Structure 1
Amino acid sequence: MTRHGKNCTAGAVYTYHEKKKDTASSGYGTQSVRLGKDAIKDFDCCCLSLQPCQDPVVTPDGYLYEKQAILEFLLHRKTEIAKKMKAYEKQKQAQKSSRQLESTSEQRQQVERFKTSENTIVSKPINPFTSGRSRLGPLTGTSQLNVADSQLFPSGQKDGETSKSQSGSEPATSSSQSLPSFWIPSLTPEAKPTLLKKPSKAVLCPMSGRPIRMNELIAVRFTPLDPSLDRVALLNRQERYVCAVTRDVLGNSVPCAVLRPSGSVVTQECMEKLIRKDMVDPVTGDKLTDRDIIPLQRGGTGFSGSGVDLRAKEARPVMQA
């Protein structure tokens, strides 16, 4: 189709090209694009550096790493975890000291409240031998009670009123309910620091997200296509490695597996048709188990999934009628 035919808008049919063009310009609908070869990592490249491995190691999940790169990653993550743990312990110690200070201040407040309540019970000491009889003469029972009440409660408060004021059940004043002034530094609200969670001591694999250890890494030994070539000439070739048994060329389109005892890389076809019958490593002669056969993950980078036929999709808002 010519350029004039693609840009023609006088047709009676809404073509697929026009639909994609309108979708891209409108901002609605799901856009998809097929990733090219440059967006897919080669099977023999490190998942961190994305470069061909010189000293490759593989995890039990089948992800290939350069030994130096993965060891630097593990060391960096352990250093970060140690820093986070130190900050968490510091926060824990600060919380403990603050709780001790709060308990001490609360005890002091209780003592002060007790002293205040005890001091307000009787304002003046009463001598039971020299009561108001000497000044007022003989009193009746009712007048004696009134005098005793006046001596116990000089401010005119009764027993119930005193207990009510001590219990703090009186309604608060309007000044205590007023909001703080945001323009006065002493009355502005204070934000509490963010509490840190206890960090996990396990280092996670950057690809699978599962815990990874240094002693779980398995050395991988690729079989070069031409042993006479040096490394620079080998990396410049499109086809670099072959199966250790069948000598088939390895690539992203060929599923591979790593044998744990020898670290050799063989194709999945060779694994299913030859090795699984006897379950013996053809290089070292050791007995194999299902755990010793590690499928090698193909393709995929930090920006895309694994596989060789990838499509990137972006879900955007959909227009509703």
Structure 2
Amino acid sequence: MPRHSKNNTASSVFTYHETKSLDYGTKKHRLGRDSFREYNACFLCLQTARDPVACPQGHLACRECMYESILAQKQTIKREQRLLEQKLQTLEEKKEREQEEARQVMLDQFEKTQTSMLGNRKRQQREQKKEDETTDESTNAGIKRKIQDATDEDQLERTAKRLAEEKADKVKSKVTSFWLPTMTPEAEKQYKDEIKPIQTQTMCTAVKKPHPVSLKTLIEVKFQYEDDTKKKCQCPACLKTLSNSLKFSVMRSCGHVICNTCVNMFVKKTKRCYVCEAKIKSKDIIDMSPEGTGFASGSSLAEAKKWDVAFQ
């Protein structure tokens, strides 16, 4: 038996079948050819692309699937925008209520001060002081008023913050369940400047890092087929059959698909498409190389990993 019991699956005493049957540790498995999408398959429905189109980075899809994806994303964006507007409106109303409560508290305190005996004495002293003053206050009236308004606003914000803290302390003293969502730090009040804007651009999700895509930027892909069955495609220049092991590109301006070998030999030198003689720039040549196979390791996702919690 192995020397360490916690590492008992790393020894040769277990057969291949026993090691595979154990749900313990990290398991690696190299993906084979059947695990990758075909070169002419839609990345959304995983079937052979019908009326194929490509995004600006060369990801192939059916026209119908791509339109549905963009439309669904636009509907989601509109829904999120409505929810964001409602949230902003709710936060503004909440902030106004808090300021109104703070203003009422300040008025109550002012009334208590003015109606008290000490308040009346101070008021008489202030009136007497104003009568004795001989300086001209007309020039400084606007400045004093601005300073007084700024002071009132600051005092109002401080009062509102103090009232909110008092309410939070009262709630904490009554509720002992610290795991409630309302008691988490993320549940603190948020204002307009603290809310992040939502993504308003439709994205292509063919890769891990999505990139922007729109109906105007889609490229109509034109494959050349070997026969009328339209099952196999070929390069129009060298007549090689396209497959996952062959790299090819699409021309942005005309949509013709040519293998990269012919692109380097003909298209890049003449600056024209081999099929239709359309003018081609270097930026108009978009690589459409497929994922490749597990043996060729043409993809960064050629290895799959599976792990599980030990002894569960």
Say whether the fold is shared (TM-score over 0.5). Answer: yes
Provide the C-alpha distance between the structure 2 equivalents of 1:177 and 1:288, rounded to a whole number of angstroms.
71
Q: Given the alignment of the two structures, is residue 288 of structure 1 paired with residue 284 of structure 2, yes or no?
A: no
1:180 aligns with: 173
* 1:215 alignment partner, SS class: coil
Distance 1:286 1:109, change over 3 A: same
Distance 1:200 1:306, change over 3 A: farther
Deviation at 1:107, TM superposition (A): 1.3
What CA deviation, in whole Å up to 9, does each residue of 1:173-206 have, x standing for no partner? xxx98963349xxxx9966589664211111111
Higher helix share: 2
Distance 1:122 1:290, change over 3 A: same
- What RMSD in Å do the two structures reach over aligned CA positions? 3.5
Amino acid at match of 1:219: E
Deviation at 1:269, TM superposition (A): 1.3
2:236 aligns with: 244
Q: Does the CA-based 8 Å contact 1:220-1:258 persist in structure 2?
A: yes
Provide the C-alpha distance between the structure 2 equivalents of 1:180 and 1:234, rounded to a whole number of angstroms.
73
2:205 aligns with: 206
Q: How many aligned residue pairs are there?
A: 238
Question: Which among 267, 289, 298 is matched to residue 275 of structure 1?
Answer: 267
Q: Does the CA-based 8 Å contact 1:254-1:267 persist in structure 2?
A: yes
1:113 aligns with: 109
Distance 1:37 1:43, change over 3 A: same
* 2:85 alignment partner, SS class: helix
Q: Does the CA-based 8 Å contact 1:262-1:283 persist in structure 2?
A: no
2:305 aligns with: 313
2:222 aligns with: 221
Q: Between Structure 1 and Structure 2, whose CA radius of gyration is higher?
A: 1
Q: Does the CA-based 8 Å contact 1:56-1:64 persist in structure 2?
A: yes
Amino acid at match of 1:312: A
Amino acid at match of 1:224: Y
Amino acid at match of 1:210: H
Q: Does the CA-based 8 Å contact 2:250-2:258 persist in structure 1?
A: yes
* 1:65 alignment partner, SS class: strand
Normalised to the residue count of structure 2, the TM-score between the two structures is 0.66
Provide the C-alpha distance between the structure 1 equivalents of 2:303 and 2:170, rounded to a whole number of angstroms.
61
Percent of aligned pairs with the same residue?
23
Provide the C-alpha distance between the structure 1 equivalents of 2:20 and 2:114, rounded to a whole number of angstroms.
81
* 2:230 alignment partner, SS class: helix
Structure 2 residues without counterparts, runs of 5 or longer? 1-10, 122-168
Amino acid at match of 1:299: E
Q: Does the CA-based 8 Å contact 2:39-2:244 persist in structure 1?
A: yes
Normalised to the residue count of structure 1, the TM-score between the two structures is 0.64
